[in-house]
């Protein structure tokens, strides 16, 4: 069985690991959230009442969005233990297959949310590392010219290290993040003792007043408050790796208390010294602790960035296996953890775009304007998809489903609409990235459907073909031929070409179809089904979960239980390689999209590598198809 990739670890070990991976992003939000909430550009005066109100808004945003929405509600909407927007999309679409209109809306929304996640994946390393290195400016302005080069150096080192995997440093992540949260909490307590009046922020009335009593400025400032819970989606996305119990324990026992104390402490500092609004986080600490905190903050932001990068790999692999992106090279970096992978193409493209964001925006404050759109857009889609899960998967009545998700949708809409005000100031950046990714995913998904339809029109039923073939059987040669075909009821083009050119048939012929289920894991005992077609011909269907490695030779070994043994040195794999020809007026997509699809198909990674086939046993036969 491989339905669960997690090793059997104690809850304490899982909680420690969750601290290092799950909470890096949201744990580094204090570096910039308070500074941006009270930015002078919002036009809200920095008085004791507004400071208390702003900190209250941040505290209750964490309480409502993270604690209540994600930790209590959303983490219940899992796909056999797996979370994340792709897992949720697979669950929601499978439940609504019989509702075409809802299916289309769910698919578009889910892909849009996934596309926005890529914008988040670019901005998280950029803003996190840049905000940490900017702490050097507090000690002396002489460091200011070096902030961008140092940030770029840290990011280049981080992305360059990805090919070695995170297993070697994974054990260090948890303790470093614990030290980080302890430092947050201790500084917060010290600040609160200087101005205990800040504890009034625990009253939600102050937060509500802050976001409603300043006219249009209140609406604008909501877009800054949301910076406090960036990274909340990671709680849900990493649920399958650590389990919801470990994530919940870590949140309520350490992360939330440390964050709350630190935000209260920053508010207390602003009450006693309003000029500290230029960088309230680092100014909380005494001079002797400044540079150690810059170093610790940099380590914490690297960990936060690491979590986002690996999350991007995971999301991309899921999108590939669910049919929304073309095949890409996926390298396993750990023999024990299936979740630890490295995708070279994704890694280097991500680094280039991250560096472009760092140098293009130039400061964490400028990046903050771009950050909110991607975060809140993904969160809104997650809530939207959750409605369909609890309605059609759990079977709850409509009124209860609306009540359970309606409040959070309104809350997400408030944050999302506020973040849209920042489009001209940088919010366009993640929207452009998201639009590009959405178009790529929709084009690939639509193109594959068109290609399947084209192949279906010329398909020959396999049973009829075999009945006709064995009336006058061709010469049989030793060995096993495995013909891979998308449609299990159709004759593979590779078989037709082989018969036409070589005039022979292997003594054992296997028609193999691989499908990816809409569940994350398919156990070994459900992996293969075998059907005899007579005359030494067999039909095998393989099912993999969208998080299972697609290893065909490994799965073929399971066929011995069905009376089929495969010796790889006596087995040849025949593949059909389609050459796509875009044409005008074929009723498919616009010509430019057809050309994009053909380009992606041409540059997709090798199907041999994707299926883990032995390269010296593969024969590819081509065919031209108009789309």
Torsion of CA 54, 57, 61, 63, to 10 degrees: 110
pLDDT (0 to 100) of residue 15 = 79
Output the pLDDT for position 587: 61
Domain residues of the chain, as ranges? 11-115+168-300+362-447, 459-626
d(CA 412, CA 386): 13
- For residue 425, what are the CA distances in angstroms to 115, 126, 361, 365? 21, 16, 10, 11
The total of other beta-carbon atoms located within 10 Å of residue 531's CB is 12
Q: CB of 191 within 8 A of CB of 265?
A: yes
CB 422 within 8 A of CB 373: yes
Q: Report how far apart, in Å, the C-alpha atoms of 9 and of each of 241, 247, 251, 368 are.
A: 11, 14, 19, 38
Q: Is the pLDDT of residue 169 over 70?
A: no
Handedness of CA 82, 85, 90, 92 (dihedral sign): positive
The residue among 371 and 465 whose pLDDT is bigger is 465
Of 13-17, 167-171, 287-291, 324-328, the range with the lowest mean pLDDT is 167-171
Task: Record the tokens describing residue 22, joined without a space.
Answer: 């799950």
pLDDT value of residue 67? 94
Position 304 scores a pLDDT of 79
369-381: average pLDDT: 85
522 phi and psi angles, rounded to 5 deg: -115, 120
Confidence of residue 8 (pLDDT cuts 50, 70, 90): very low
Distances (CA, A) of 155 to 126, 353, 381, 547: 8, 11, 29, 28
Could you report the per-residue pLDDT of 244-253, keeping only the tens digit for each? 888 899 999 9
Give the containing element (helix H, strand E) for 581: strand 571-581
More confident residue, 238 or 359: 359
Number of Cβ within 10 Å of residue 566's Cβ equals 16
Determine which of 52-56, 69-73, 186-190, 272-276 has the lowest per-residue pLDDT on average.
69-73
Structure tokens at 487: 């449609």
- 465-523 pLDDT, tens digit each: 999 999 988 999 999 999 999 889 999 988 998 898 888 999 999 999 999 988 888 99
d(CA 339, CA 373): 28
pLDDT band at 303 (very low <50, low <70, confident <90, very high): confident
Helix (H) or strand (E) holding 269: helix 256-272
Tokens representing 273 are 């010294």
Helix axes 147-161, 287-321, angle to 10 degrees: 40
pLDDT given for residue 437 in this prediction: 94
For residues 416-439, give the mean pLDDT.
Answer: 89
pLDDT bracket for residue 219 (50, 70, 90): confident
The tokens describing 603, both together, are 């540059």
CB 411 within 8 A of CB 468: no
Strand order in the sheet with 475-484: 528-534, 537-544, 504-516, 475-484, 571-581, 618-626
Write down the pLDDT at residue 452: 85
- pLDDT score at 172: 66
Which pair of tokens denotes residue 39?
A: 């930015």
| 3-state secondary structure at position 530 | strand
pLDDT at 52: 96
Residue 537 confidence (pLDDT) above 90: yes
Confidence of residue 4 (pLDDT cuts 50, 70, 90): very low
Please compute the mean of the pLDDT values over residues 279-294 and round it to a whole number: 91
Q: How confident is the model at residue 10 (pLDDT cuts 50, 70, 90)?
A: low
Q: What's the whole-number mean pLDDT along residues 377-385?
A: 91
Q: Which helix (H) or strand (E) holds 544?
A: strand 537-544
For the record, the structure tokens of 286 come out as 């005494």
pLDDT of residue 374: 83
- The span from the CA of 302 to the CA of 130, in Å, is 10
Question: Which pLDDT value is given to residue 514?
Answer: 95
Q: What is the pLDDT of residue 7?
A: 41
């Amino acid at each position: 069985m491989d339905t669960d990739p997690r090793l059997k670890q104690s809850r304490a070990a899982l909680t420690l690991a969750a601290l290092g991976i799950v909470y890096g992003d949201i744990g580094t939000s204090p570096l910039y959230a308070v500074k941006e909430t009270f930015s002078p550009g919002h036009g809200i005066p920095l008085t004791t009442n507004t400071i208390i109100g702003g900190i209250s808004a941040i505290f209750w945003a964490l309480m409502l969005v993270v604690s209540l929405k994600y930790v209590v509600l959303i983490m219940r909407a899992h796909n056999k233990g797996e979370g994340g927007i792709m897992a949720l999309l697979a669950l929601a679409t499978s439940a609504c297959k019989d509702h075409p209109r809802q299916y289309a809306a769910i698919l578009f929304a889910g892909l849009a949310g996934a596309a926005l996640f890529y914008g988040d994946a670019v901005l998280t390393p950029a803003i996190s590392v840049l905000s940490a290195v900017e702490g050097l400016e507090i000690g002396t302005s002489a460091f200011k010219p070096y902030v961008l080069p140092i940030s770029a150096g840290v990011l280049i080192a981080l992305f360059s290290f990805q090919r070695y995997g995170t297993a070697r440093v994974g054990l260090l992540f948890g303790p470093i993040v614990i030290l980080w949260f302890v430092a947050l909490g201790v500084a917060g307590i010290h600040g609160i003792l200087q101005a205990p009046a800040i504890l009034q922020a625990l009253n939600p009335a102050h937060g509500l007043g802050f976001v409603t009593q300043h006219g249009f400025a209140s609406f604008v400032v909501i877009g800054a408050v949301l910076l406090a819970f960036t990274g909340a989606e990671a709680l849900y996305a990493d649920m399958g790796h650590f389990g919801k119990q470990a994530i919940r324990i870590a949140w309520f026992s350490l992360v939330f208390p440390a964050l709350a104390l630190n935000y209260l402490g920053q508010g207390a500092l602003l009450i006693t010294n309003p000029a500290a609004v230029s960088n309230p986080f680092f100014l909380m600490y005494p001079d002797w602790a400044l540079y150690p905190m810059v170093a610790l903050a940099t380590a914490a932001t690297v960990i936060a960035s690491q979590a986002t990068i690996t999350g991007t790999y995971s999301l991309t692999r899921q999108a590939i296996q669910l049919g929304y992106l073309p095949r890409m090279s996926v390298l396993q970096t750990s023999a024990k953890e299936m979740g630890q992978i490295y995708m070279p193409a994704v890694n280097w493209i991500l680094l280039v775009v991250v560096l472009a964001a760092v140098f293009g925006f130039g400061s964490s404050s400028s990046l903050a304007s771009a950050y909110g759109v991607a975060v809140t857009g993904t969160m809104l889609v997650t809530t939207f998809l959750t409605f369909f899960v609890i309605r059609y998967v759990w079977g709850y009545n409509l009124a209860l489903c609306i009540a359970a998700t309606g409040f959070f949708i309104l809350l997400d809409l408030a944050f999302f609409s506020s973040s849209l005000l920042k489009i001209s100031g940088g919010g366009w950046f993640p929207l452009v990235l998201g639009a590009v990714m959405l178009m790529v995913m929709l084009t690939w998904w639509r193109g594959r459907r068109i290609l399947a339809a084209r192949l279906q029109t010329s398909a020959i039923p396999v049973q009829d073909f075999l009945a006709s073939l064995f009336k006058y059987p061709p010469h049989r040669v030793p060995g096993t031929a495995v013909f891979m075909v998308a449609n299990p009821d159709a004759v593979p083009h590779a078989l037709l070409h082989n018969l036409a050119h070589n005039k022979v048939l292997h003594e054992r012929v296997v028609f193999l179809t691989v499908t990816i289920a809409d569940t994350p894991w398919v156990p070994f005992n459900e992996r293969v089904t075998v059907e005899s077609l007579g005359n030494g011909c067999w039909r095998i269907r393989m099912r993999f979960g969208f998080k299972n490695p697609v290893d065909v030779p490994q799965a073929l070994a399971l066929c011995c239980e069905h009376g089929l043994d495969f010796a790889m040195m006596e087995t040849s794999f025949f593949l059909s390689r389609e050459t796509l020809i875009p044409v005008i007026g074929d009723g498919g997509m616009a010509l430019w999209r057809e050309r994009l699809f053909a380009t992606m198909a041409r540059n997709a990674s090798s199907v041999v590598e994707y299926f883990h086939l032995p390269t010296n046993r593969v024969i590819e036969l081509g065919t031209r198809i108009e789309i």
